[in-house]
Homo-oligomer: A and B are copies of this chain.
Amino acid sequence: MIIVGEKINGSIPSMAKAIAEKNEARIKSLAKKQSKAGADYIDCCASVNEGEVETLGWMIDLIQEVTDTPICVDSPNPEAILAVLDRVKKPGMINSVSGEGNKMDVIFPAIADTKWNVVALLCDDSGIPKTAEDRIRVLDRIMAEAEKYGIRQNRIFIDPMVEMLCTAEEGVSMLMEVISYIKENYPKAHIICAVSNISFNLPYRKIVNQAFTVMAMNYGMDAAVMDPLNRDLRGVIYATDALLGEDYYCMEYIGAFREGIFGPTEDEKK
């Protein structure tokens, strides 16, 4: 599982506060913690109304002061992303393109001849499509466009768009259909989900997030935007890898438990 650590994101109220207060220690601490916990990328999203490029640049510098884990540069504004790209010491991930507006036209040529990866959201100017068919139409368009620029499938992290379960009459069947389609038609592309979106407005969200993660992995999800410090979710991911036959004799599962990535905390053991 490729983990994008989600905690340095200005759309989270406590992080918005840290950004507004220029709380460098908080940002550095979360970068360090997520990296230590095993994040493969550290998401970095300012989510400010003004001065986004400046804020993003400041945040990127802070993260790079404490870790060399690659950064996932996250903004709805493709120009803001490009404006900070030089500041990032090594290619990471761009979050995101989609079928919306000029996103692909701005981002794809800029990263064509680089090693940057990119998240592709399956939505467009009409919003998030309601049917699998329409999401797949967006997908095919994005993949065809990426191919024009020579951006290979394995640099693309397709986000099928997880929405809240509580308003979905048919559960996640449509989403799993999209994931299955991606897996079959673009087998080298990654499939990334913001797993906690599934449980919005439900009680005891962690259980829904865990169940969703198992199911999505079963269909082909291999990357997640998540809290790498969420011990039970980490355990579920190791367990699911083992169930899927991707962990010979559960060695990874057992190793991760021994390292303390999941399982009772030191406090809980007392």
- Chain A interface (Cβ < 8 Å from any Cβ of B): 165-173, 198, 202-204, 207-208, 210-212, 214-215, 218, 232, 235-236, 238-240, 242-250, 253-254, 257-258, 262-264
Contact = CB atoms under 8 A, between A and B. Distances in A.
Contact of A239 (B211, B239, B243, B257): B211
In the complex, the count of this chain's copies comes to: 2
A171 B203 contact: no
A254 B246 CA distance: 34
A214 to B, nearest CB: 4
Contacts of A204: 235, 257, 262-264
Given A172-B243, A208-B253, 9 more contacts: A171-B243, A202-B253, A203-B263, A204-B263, A207-B262, A210-B211, A210-B236, A214-B215, A215-B240
A243 to B, nearest CB: 5
24 contacts: A165-B243, A166-B254, A169-B245, A169-B249, A171-B244, A171-B245, A171-B247, A172-B243, A172-B245, A198-B243, A202-B250, A203-B254, A203-B258, A204-B257, A204-B262, A207-B232, A207-B238, A208-B242, A208-B243, A210-B214, A210-B239, A211-B243, A215-B215, A215-B218
Nearest to A257: B203
Contacts of A254: 166, 202-203
A221 to B, nearest CB: 13
